[in-house]
Chains A and B, each alone.
Chain A
Amino acid sequence: DQQVKQNSPSLSVQEGRISILNCDYTNSMFDYFLWYKKYPAEGPTFLISISSIKDKNEDGRFTVFLNKSAKHLSLHIVPSQPGDSAVYFCAASAAGNQFYFGTGTSLTVIP
Chain B
Amino acid sequence: GAVVSQHPSRVICKSGTSVKIECRSLDFQATTMFWYRQFPKQSLMLMATSNEGSKATYEQGVEKDKFLINHASLTLSTLTVTSAHPEDSSFYICSAREQGLAGVKNIQYFGAGTRLSVL
Chain A residues engaging chain B, CB cutoff 8 angstroms: 2, 4, 9, 32, 34, 36, 41-46, 49, 89, 91, 93, 97-104
A-B contact count (CB 8 A): 52
Chain B, range 98-119, C-beta contacts under 8 Å to A: 106-113
**Contact B44 A89, beta carbon cutoff 8 Å:** yes
Residue ranges of B at the interface with A (Cβ–Cβ < 8 Å): 1, 4, 6, 9, 32, 34, 36, 41-46, 49, 93, 97, 106-113
* List of A residues within 8 angstroms of B97 by Cβ: 97
25 A-B pairs whose Cβ atoms sit less than 8 Å apart in the complex: A2-B43, A4-B43, A9-B41, A32-B106, A34-B106, A36-B110, A41-B9, A42-B112, A42-B113, A43-B4, A43-B93, A43-B111, A43-B112, A43-B113, A44-B93, A45-B110, A46-B1, A46-B107, A46-B110, A49-B106, A89-B43, A99-B46, A100-B43, A101-B45, A103-B41
A98 touches B112 (CB 8 A): no
Tell whether, in the assembled complex, residue A104 and residue B109 are in contact, meaning their CB atoms are under 8 Å apart. no
Given the complex of chains A and B, what is the CA–CA distance between A102 and B36 in angstroms? 13
A48 shortest CB reach to chain B, Å: 10
Q: Bound complex: CA of A42 vs CA of B4, how far in Å? A: 12
Q: In the complex where A43-B93, A44-B93 touch, is A99 in contact with B108 (Cβ < 8 A)? A: yes
Q: Tell me the interface secondary structure of chain B in the complex.
A: strand
Q: Please give, as numbers and ranges, the residues of chain B lying within 8 Å of A98 by CB-CB distance.
A: 46, 49
Cross-chain contact B42 with A103 (CB below 8 angstroms): yes
Contacts beyond the supplied A43-B110, A49-B107, A99-B46: 14 A-B pairs with Cβ under 8 Å: A4-B43, A9-B41, A34-B107, A43-B6, A43-B112, A45-B110, A46-B1, A46-B110, A89-B43, A93-B106, A97-B32, A98-B49, A101-B36, A101-B44
Q: What residues of B have a CB within 8 angstroms of the CB of A103 in the complex?
A: 41-43
